[in-house]
């Protein structure tokens, strides 16, 4: 399994490509913008985009979705609880002062505990609300490693803010405690922004998680 992540879009959202080199099947996670750069990376892999999935629907995580969907025909997926956020993209754009992206055909098909197959591996879907009502974490185990795409729920030494539409501090702490922190300590975490980390590191070094 080939997995790569890179910042994309005006706010540096980490876009990830989960790519099976044999079948060329690929899942795109959080294409926040910079469509041409994402397309160039997909082309270099010979990728066949199977699905475009989103950890949540804040505007900085969906900027290139419509473009990738148009060129690939792939389905674009969110958790249905975040549908209202996608519907108010114009409000989000005005608030942040960034261009309004083209609207994609979004399926509210991400369900807690379900999986999406990519080549010989599977991506597990965890509903982890708190940053937004539909915030979702994706987990892929392949080649002896576990990769966690946590969106804006867990960062290196931080957690997501809960003061925007539908955010809930109790919910995010529950999601972290009952779902994300149950993953292996050596699991590699790719957050929505910023550098990678591991579950074990955050368990002992993240000031928002360490119990005193």
Indicate whether 211 belongs to any domain: no
Look up residue 115 and give its two tokens: 């999986």
What is the number of domains present in the chain? 1
> Which pLDDT score, from 0 to 100, does residue 93 have?
95
Q: Which helix (H) or strand (E) holds 158?
A: strand 158-159
**Contact indicator for 181, 203 with CB cutoff of 8 Å:** yes
Indicate whether 212 belongs to any domain: no
The CATH number of residue 49's host domain is 3.60.15.10
Indicate whether 175 belongs to any domain: yes
Indicate whether 36 belongs to any domain: yes
Indicate whether 181 belongs to any domain: yes
pTM above 0.85, yes or no: yes
Q: From CA 39, how far away is CA 22, in angstroms rounded? A: 19
pLDDT per residue as tens digits for the range 115-155: 999 988 899 999 999 999 999 999 999 888 999 999 999 99
Average pLDDT, integer, range 102-126: 94
Look up residue 160 and give its two tokens: 């997501």
pLDDT per residue as tens digits for the range 144-161: 899 999 999 999 999 999
pLDDT per residue as tens digits for the range 62-95: 999 999 999 999 999 999 999 999 999 999 999 9
> Which pLDDT score, from 0 to 100, does residue 143 have?
84
Indicate whether 210 belongs to any domain: no
Q: From CA 114, how far away is CA 61, in angstroms rounded? A: 21
pLDDT per residue as tens digits for the range 56-67: 999 999 999 999
Indicate whether 118 belongs to any domain: yes
**Contact indicator for 146, 54 with CB cutoff of 8 Å:** no
- Is residue 210 over pLDDT 80? no
Average pLDDT, integer, range 15-40: 97
Q: What is the mean pLDDT of the chain?
A: 95
Average pLDDT, integer, range 191-200: 98
Q: Which helix (H) or strand (E) holds 84?
A: helix 83-87
> Which pLDDT score, from 0 to 100, does residue 49 have?
97
- Is residue 31 over pLDDT 90? yes
Q: From CA 212, how far away is CA 209, in angstroms rounded? A: 9
Indicate whether 168 belongs to any domain: yes
Q: Which domain holds residue 14?
A: 2-205
**Contact indicator for 190, 16 with CB cutoff of 8 Å:** yes
- Is residue 211 over pLDDT 80? no
């Amino acid at each position: 399994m080939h997995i790569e992540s890179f910042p994309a879009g005006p706010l540096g959202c980490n876009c990830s490509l989960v790519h099976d080199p044999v079948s060329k099947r690929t899942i795109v996670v959080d294409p926040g913008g910079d469509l041409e750069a994402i397309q160039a990376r997909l082309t270099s892999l010979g990728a066949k985009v199977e699905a475009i999935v989103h950890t949540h629907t804040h505007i900085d995580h969906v900027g290139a979705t419509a473009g990738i969907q148009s060129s690939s025909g792939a389905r674009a997926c969110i958790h249905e609880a975040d549908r209202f956020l996608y519907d108010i993209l114009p409000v989000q754009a005005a608030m942040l002062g960034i261009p309004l992206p083209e609207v994609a055909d979004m399926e509210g098909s991400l369900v807690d505990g379900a999986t999406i197959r990519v080549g010989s591996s599977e991506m597990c879907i965890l509903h982890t609300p708190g940053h937004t009502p539909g915030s979702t974490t994706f987990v892929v185990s392949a080649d002896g490693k576990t990769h966690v795409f946590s969106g804006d729920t867990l960062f290196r030494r931080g957690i997501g803010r809960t003061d925007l539409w539908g955010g809930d501090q109790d919910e995010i702490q529950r999601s972290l405690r009952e779902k994300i922190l149950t993953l292996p300590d050596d699991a590699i975490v790719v957050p929505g922004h910023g550098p990678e980390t591991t579950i074990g590191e955050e368990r002992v070094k993240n000031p928002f998680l360490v119990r005193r």
